[in-house]
Amino acid sequence: MDWLKVAQQFMTGVVNAMTEPRYQVQGVGWLTEAHAALDVPQLSKGGVEAASADSQSSASPDLGMVFTANVFGHYYLIHEIMTTLHAHRGQEDEASRVIWIGSIDSNPHGFDIKDIQGIKSTTPYQSSKTLTDILVLGHQLPQTEKQYRAYVSTATGHQRSDTSIGETIAPVFLVAHPGIISTTIVALPWWQTHGKILGFWLCKALGSPWHCIDPYIGANAPVWLALSPHVEMAKGTKWGSGSGWRDTELIIETKVDIDVARYSEEVWAEMERLRSFWKSRLDSRA
């Protein structure tokens, strides 16, 4: 943490500092390591791997670590199991639901459409969660229809067409966040852990609805989206878990600050480009 920024933000507002912290120091330029092993080697006549201009030009592009962990890995996996997620025509009420986990701390100022992987960002976590908002809330907009239909299609290769999903019902994409909860995902010294929890309770006492603290309460919004019979009403909105002072459990509609319509087409196009590339690369290694 940047302790100078900690002091500055706490002086301007305790609740804001414990809800949307701007003092965390995150890794910049962190990449996955697995992609290097997936570069397809070219063999010389003797069967020895040989580097060439062509092989170097076809080398795998970088993959941002946080981007892959929070967004792209899930995006790729969902497409790979898409056939099992489709419902039969006439069973619209039984359509599968894919619940993406966003964050109350998604910050449009940390997102750059020219760097959707957040590799150059000083806040790659917030960038990835803003990307999640755009991806999910923008998937049914007219400008993303072509990419979305290609993504949810269960046809392959030459069989794929814009009508390939007409015989079945594609899964519904929804987005939720757990509010502010206390977990051990990030290792902290014991005194910071206890200080964090005390700070969360202070925010709750000051009226913050977002400090659920207990992860089980934080799971309410995703579980509600998974089970609610009113899924049509839930579409196109980001939902969050909340809690009152007496642990009254709430589901709260959450404002999204990013202009989803402005960026959704570019986001979906780039996500599909990356998916197609890595699908080809992984298939070539099979």
pLDDT tens per residue, range 155-211? 554 444 443 456 788 999 999 999 999 998 888 888 989 999 999 999 999 999 999
Which residues, including other chains, have CB under 8 Å from residue 37's CB and lie 6 or more apart? Answer: none
Domain residues for the domain of 112 are: 63-285
**Residue 224: inside a domain:** yes
Residue 208 corresponds to which tokens in the numbers above? 């913050």
**Residue 239: inside a domain:** yes
**Residue 126: inside a domain:** yes
**Residue 142: inside a domain:** yes
**CB 145 within 8 Å of CB 269:** no
**Residue 116: inside a domain:** yes
**Amino acid letter, 36:** A
Report the number of distinct structural domains present in the chain.
1
Max avg pLDDT among 65-79, 140-154, 237-251: 65-79
**Residue 236: inside a domain:** yes
**Cβ atoms within 10 Å, residue 165:** 20
**Residue 67: inside a domain:** yes
Max avg pLDDT among 39-53, 79-93, 220-234: 220-234
Radius of gyration of the chain (CA): 21
Burial of 259 (0-12, 13-18, 19+ CB in 10 A): exposed
Q: How far is CA 125 from CA 67, 103, 134, 198, in A?
A: 8, 9, 15, 24
**Residue 40: inside a domain:** no
